[in-house]
């Protein structure tokens, strides 16, 4: 095989000597043989096989390639070790769109796959701010609130979760404003940025902790989504809030039984220090609602319960408003991503009761008990203004602990396109 492999699509069955193979080869050419069913999934699976055989560079040829099929190929061909090298096909607009997608997704993968040692909370905020500033120029402004300054501004949750680390927690407040003057904010984005999650005093087992560099996947996803929208020429004012901390154990770490009093007056008893994501997002959601944005979207690798409910090929979505869920489903389908709504009723806000505070951050049982993903969403709802349209994305499909038939190990960026589409159409 040569360094560059030409790749085409066909609906024809392979020659008999290939049996039931979905990919065949001849010299420096490969063919993906499509069957009935989900052809984008077939293409992504074929791309994983090609990469596993050591191929590093592909040139796509033929009329069957469109935007969605080429992107599915790129998602399967990407790995944690290198950005895929793909020569796109199609018209100039299609090739530009794919290039923008790949560069944004690659930045998100870089963040998610970086070692915890190299990605402290403040560094995550700085990298995200600098990348967006490079894309948006003087349309982007930001500030980073770190350490005890969080307490001074009453961002209690981020500080509590991150204070056990020698490296300070931080909140990134970023404003993208391509409009003149003090324009209204169309959408506010919130991302969970736990750069490493040991579980705190509710410590995780080793096998459950190994992949916890991914726990800032929500921050990476919303950052990449905004960056992609900027590349696409987004002409709306957007605010971004990243809630960044390391959840570690020390003599200064927060403990079970602590009570956090939030800016809106809600008191929260800590019954599980491994349910830390919702504690930092509570600050970010309040900050987002203060902007006056009509739509607030948060994204987080929040619960194992979401993974158990929808698996690793979907992201779970929640909203108290059915029209918000329908729009998210529509946009996800348009860009070839998968989301699935899980229940969120008003009584979910009371599913983590406390004898000492307004609510607890979980239930004192393994995994937070039944309906854990909905209970977490109910907790977050306490920090969302009633008039706001709110979408919560529990990113069950944002990270692959092990390589599988669709994804290499590491960050997947699944969810980025959905959020970008919502930014463009909100």
Catalytic residue list = 204, 278
What is the Cα–Cα distance from 414 to 181, expressed in whole angstroms?
34
Two tokens at 130? 């600098």
CB 136 within 8 A of CB 238: no
Spatial neighbors of 130 by CB under 8 A, at least 6 apart, are none
Beta strands in 227-381 (DSSP E): 238-247, 259-261, 267-269, 295-300, 315-318, 339-341, 359-360
Two tokens at 320? 């108290």
CB 135 within 8 A of CB 100: no
CB 376 within 8 A of CB 305: yes
Alpha helices, H only, 185-263: 206-209, 217-231
Mapping DSSP to helix (H, G, I), strand (E, B) and coil, where does residue 57 land? strand
β-sheet with 259-261: strand ranges across: 259-261, 267-269, 359-360
CB 223 within 8 A of CB 126: no
* DSSP symbols for 323-370: HHHHHHHHHHHHTT--EEE----GGGGGSS--SSSSEESS-SSGGGST
Two tokens at 339? 């989301």
Pairing of strands 267-269, 259-261: antiparallel
């Amino acid at each position: 095989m040569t360094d560059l492999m030409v790749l085409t699509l066909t609906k024809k069955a392979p020659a008999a000597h290939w049996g039931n193979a979905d990919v065949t080869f001849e010299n420096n050419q490969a063919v993906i043989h499509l069957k009935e069913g989900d052809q984008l999934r077939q293409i992504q699976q074929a791309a994983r096989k090609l990469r596993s055989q050591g191929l590093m560079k592909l040139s796509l040829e033929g009329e069957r390639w469109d935007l969605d099929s080429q992107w599915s190929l790129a998602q399967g061909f990407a790995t944690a070790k290198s950005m895929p090298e793909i020569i796109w096909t199609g018209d100039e607009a299609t090739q530009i769109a794919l290039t923008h997608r790949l560069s944004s997704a690659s930045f998100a993968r870089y963040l998610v796959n970086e070692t915890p040692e190299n990605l402290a909370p403040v560094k995550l905020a700085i990298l995200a701010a600098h990348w967006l500033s490079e894309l948006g120029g003087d349309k982007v402004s930001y500030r980073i609130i770190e350490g005890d300054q969080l307490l001074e501004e009453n961002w209690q949750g981020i500080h509590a979760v991150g204070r056990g680390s020698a490296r300070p927690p931080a909140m990134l407040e970023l404003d993208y404003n391509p409009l003149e003057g003090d324009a209204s904010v169309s959408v506010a984005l919130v991302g969970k940025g736990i750069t490493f999650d040991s579980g705190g005093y509710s410590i995780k087992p080793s096998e459950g902790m190994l992949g916890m560099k991914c726990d800032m996947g929500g921050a990476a996803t919303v950052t990449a989504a905004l960056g992609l929208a900027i590349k696409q020429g987004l002409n709306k004012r957007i605010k971004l809030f990243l809630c960044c901390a390391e959840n570690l154990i020390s003599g200064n770490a927060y403990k079970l039984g602590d009570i956090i009093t939030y800016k809106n007056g809600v008191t929260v008893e800590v019954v599980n220090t491994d349910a830390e994501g919702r504690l930092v997002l509570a600050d970010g959601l309040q900050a987002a609602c203060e902007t006056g944005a009509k739509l607030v979207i948060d994204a987080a690798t929040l619960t194992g319960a979401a993974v158990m409910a929808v698996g690793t090929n979907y992201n779970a979505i929640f909203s108290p408003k059915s029209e918000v869920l329908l729009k998210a489903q529509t946009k996800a389908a348009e860009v070839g991503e998968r989301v699935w709504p899980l229940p969120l009723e008003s009584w979910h806000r009371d599913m983590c009761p406390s004898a000492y505070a307004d609510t607890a951050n979980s239930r004192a049982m393994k995994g937070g008990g039944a309906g854990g993903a909905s209970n977490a969403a109910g907790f977050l709802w306490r920090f969302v203004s009633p008039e706001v349209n709110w979408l919560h994305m529990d990113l069950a499909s944002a990270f692959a602990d092990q390589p599988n038939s669709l994804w290499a190990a590491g960050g997947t960026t699944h969810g980025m396109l959905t959020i970008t589409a919502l930014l463009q159409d909100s």
